[in-house]
Structure 1
Amino acid sequence: MSALFLPSATPAAQVVTAARCAMNGTGPVLALGAPVADDAVLPAGTIAVVTTSGSSGVPKSVILSRSALTASAMATADRLGAGEWMLTLPPTYVAGLQVIIRSLVQGHDPVVLDGHFSPDAFVDTAGRMHATADGAPVPRFVSLVPAQLQTLLDAADDPAVAGTGRSFRAMLVGGQAVAPALLERAREEGWRIVRTYGSTETSGGCVYDGRALDRVSLRIVDGELQVAGPTLADGYLGEPERTDAVFLTDADGIRWYRTGDAGELTDDGVLSITGRLDNVIISGGVNVSLDRVERVVRAIPGFEDVVVVGADHERWGQVPVVVTAHAEHADALARVRDTVEAEVGVAGRPDRIVPVAEIPLLASGKPDRRVLTALVAR
């Protein structure tokens, strides 16, 4: 089965066209983020292979079918209503792809915000959206990451920005945890925010404001959130063992996806995510392995025994923080940030260096990361 490689810099309009052809069967499978080998074997009905970062920093190529993407799009329409979508996210990531699929399922293209995201661009793009159709108002929807929401809120003293935000029936915000203060600011502006949770393996958002979409099931097993339903991916391209380890089938024949997230469910089914079971944070919508950042920092002379933990951040959701028991040099943070950016990427740059008298240890002799995380939070 052939696949059309669309790298991350591909213009959104080109991805929309390719997605339309893939969905109606006239075009090849989309290879988003990385090429797919010509001899790769893909399940029937595959629409896209989305390559994304894994917890270990090793990329994984997720196979998404027409039925899974369509089920997700229809479940979103059932929850929020039908309408017109603005595309502000990279279309080669699952959140951007899902905005495209939601639009195509409803019979139209998304309205694309071209170029750099800014309050002016947001207002201008909203101005190209339909206000009415056949005399009836057309509901507007947009999907954002928290950094974009903050950018808009910081400009909300402009009546055009504030009014445009209020014109949307729902502004979906996901990709990472959203700071409560940010949500409160948006609500004060009268913006209708919907917090979303999901991943590439679930065809994007599958939990809205803590509640699973229709036909999506949630359970907690040994503290880990698992998800079932028609939106699940088929697995990982060329990695059957990884697929079998992450996608489980229970005694009743129900297929579950192990998210790797620690979560809690209330008696009436409201989900809250309490962290990652592995040592990974999500910074600006990008998975960052703290173990990997730590290895890079420890390779810098004078930083051999540092510990890297995650901390909440209003703009980026979470950020790495370096903890050290040694004196801090004047240029230490700049050196650390530059080195990590070169090895891991922008999202992995530590936010700050926190000096401590000594690194607390567990009985095993390993650093007590829980204590250090609490210390950094204070």
Structure 2
Amino acid sequence: MRPLLAVSAGDPADLTVALRAALDGSGPAILPLAPGTPHPDDLPDEVPVATAVVVATSGSSGAPKRVVLPTAALLTSAAATESALGGPGEWVLALPGHYIAGVQVIVRALAAGSEPIAVPSGPFRADAFASAIRALPADRRRYSALVPTQLHRVLEAMADREVAGAVRSLDALLIGGGRLADAEAERAAEAGIRIVRTYGASETSGGCVYDGVPLAGVEVRVVDGEVQLAGPVLADGYLGDPERTARMFVSEPGHRWYRTGDAGEWDGQRLTVTGRLDDVIVSGGEKVSLAVVEAVVQTLPGMTDAVVVRAPDPEWGEVPVVVTTAGGTDLPTLRAVVGERLGRAAAPRRIVVVDPLPLLSNGKPDRVRLTALAAE
């Protein structure tokens, strides 16, 4: 066993020091905490010796949990990412260090023999992101990672020549933590930004499928419509929760699979994730995938930030509701487009306009809060 220490992720430099020690064994395993978070009363003093990091999930669509990540999984993931991107490089840290995406940016930088350049804390700003990129050494490859909301803000700022030049200098910009609208991906490509769409979870040491293709050593299968992942990047399980661990990690001869809870299709070479299995509602007796509805809604003008959630309905049971900051498309048009493509039951019942869109600290939409707003 080894000690487990809760550390604030508020100072990226301090977190980097603690993470380096956790990885090389000279220090305790760590649980990064969001700035201002009190020390957990239920944290054990020790964890298995292989553990480097315990990550608390966001709880954006379910109950929060603590994921136990061994050193080998984190470093294997970093090495596979390095190979997929074309070689080691310098990293900009623009994601919170208490989530796996931020942790992995630091791990990748450490594995490449450097430390990340951190964007100042506070609301994400494209100009601050660009300044951090310009601070990277010019003689090495340049990388960073953002969530779709951050990418949208970067795209909105591309008229600024300094922002545009800095972002275009990146050899790769990883985009994960949520579905990226095709229109946003096309805007990024037209703007000269080299994005890589990533898919993964805390339980897989972060992104482990890049542009639909698994990283080296990662295996994919779809069982009863559910995406399942295997390989050396898997977490050991959930801290203090053996029942959840047994339910979500399935052991078979020669394999250990993580059940993602995501719906998808696998053709043997490329993975397509279509949404969450628990994001399927029954409206008027018909099954409707909210993720599929959301993908269609986001193709409409002014709706790239739209989120589709469920809401109770006395007649239909549950109905899709669109929450957006813009309301760029009127409801009759939206219903007509979605209904034509997906069927009448999938047509959203209403549009809720909010400003700003409620987000978690990692930049993902706060779907729990959005669902509550839709119900109101």
> With structure 2 as the length reference, what TM-score do the two structures score?
0.75
State yes or no: 1:184 paired with 2:191. Answer: no
In the aligned structure 2, how far is the partner of 1:26 from the partner of 1:273? 39
In the aligned structure 1, how far is the partner of 2:242 from the partner of 2:344? 38
Deviations 1:231-281 (A, max 9, x none): 00000011111101110111x2210000000010124x111011111138x
**What is the match of residue 62 of structure 1?**
67
Report how many residues are paired.
313
Alignment of 1:188-203 (within 5 A): 188-203=190-205
Q: Are the structure 2 counterparts of residues 351 and 372 from structure 1 closer, same or farther at C-alpha, using a change threshold of 3 Å? A: farther
**What is the match of residue 108 of structure 2?**
102
Alpha-carbon contact 2:70-2:236 (below 8 Å) kept: yes
SS of residue paired to 2:57: strand
**What is the match of residue 146 of structure 1?**
148
**What is the match of residue 32 of structure 2?**
32
Q: Per-residue deviation at 1:107?
A: 1.1
In the aligned structure 1, how far is the partner of 2:13 from the partner of 2:44? 28
**What is the match of residue 126 of structure 1?**
133
Alpha-carbon contact 2:4-2:47 (below 8 Å) kept: no
In the aligned structure 2, how far is the partner of 1:371 from the partner of 1:32? 46
In the aligned structure 2, how far is the partner of 1:236 from the partner of 1:28? 18
Alpha-carbon contact 1:87-1:112 (below 8 Å) kept: yes
Match of 1:50 among 50, 55, 68: 55
In the aligned structure 2, how far is the partner of 1:194 from the partner of 1:141? 11
Match of 2:207 among 194, 205, 208: 205
**What is the match of residue 3 of structure 1?**
4
In the aligned structure 2, how far is the partner of 1:70 from the partner of 1:17? 16
Q: Per-residue deviation at 1:315?
A: 5.0
Q: Per-residue deviation at 1:127?
A: 1.7
Q: Are the structure 2 counterparts of residues 35 and 74 from structure 1 closer, same or farther at C-alpha, using a change threshold of 3 Å? A: farther
**What is the match of residue 277 of structure 1?**
277
Please tell me the residue identity of whatever aligns with 2:203: E
**What is the match of residue 307 of structure 2?**
318
SS of residue paired to 1:107: coil
Q: Per-residue deviation at 1:21?
A: 1.3
In the aligned structure 1, how far is the partner of 2:331 from the partner of 2:195? 38
Please tell me the residue identity of whatever aligns with 1:65: P
Q: Are the structure 2 counterparts of residues 97 and 371 from structure 1 closer, same or farther at C-alpha, using a change threshold of 3 Å? A: farther
**What is the match of residue 176 of structure 2?**
174
* Two-structure CA RMSD over aligned residues (Å): 3.2
**What is the match of residue 260 of structure 2?**
259
Q: Per-residue deviation at 1:376?
A: 5.1
**What is the match of residue 17 of structure 1?**
17
Q: Per-residue deviation at 1:82?
A: 1.0
Please tell me the residue identity of whatever aligns with 2:13: A
In the aligned structure 1, how far is the partner of 2:187 from the partner of 2:61? 35
Q: Per-residue deviation at 1:58?
A: 1.9
In the aligned structure 2, how far is the partner of 1:210 from the partner of 1:36? 40
Deviations 1:181-218 (A, max 9, x none): 10111111111110000000000000000000000000
> With structure 1 as the length reference, what TM-score do the two structures score?
0.75
State yes or no: 1:115 paired with 2:121. Answer: yes
Q: Per-residue deviation at 1:7?
A: 4.3
Q: Are the structure 2 counterparts of residues 191 and 53 from structure 1 closer, same or farther at C-alpha, using a change threshold of 3 Å? A: closer
Q: Per-residue deviation at 1:100?
A: 0.3
Which consecutive unaligned segments of at least 5 residues does structure 2 have? 34-38, 282-287, 316-320, 333-342, 352-376
Alpha-carbon contact 1:308-1:322 (below 8 Å) kept: no
Q: Per-residue deviation at 1:163?
A: 1.3
Q: Are the structure 2 counterparts of residues 263 and 309 from structure 1 closer, same or farther at C-alpha, using a change threshold of 3 Å? A: closer
**What is the match of residue 336 of structure 2?**
none
Alignment of 1:190-339 (within 5 A): 190-250=192-252, 252-267=253-268, 269-279=269-279, 312=294, 313=298, 315-316=304-305, 318-320=307-309, 322=311, 324=313
Q: Per-residue deviation at 1:97?
A: 0.2
Alpha-carbon contact 1:99-1:110 (below 8 Å) kept: yes
SS of residue paired to 2:67: strand
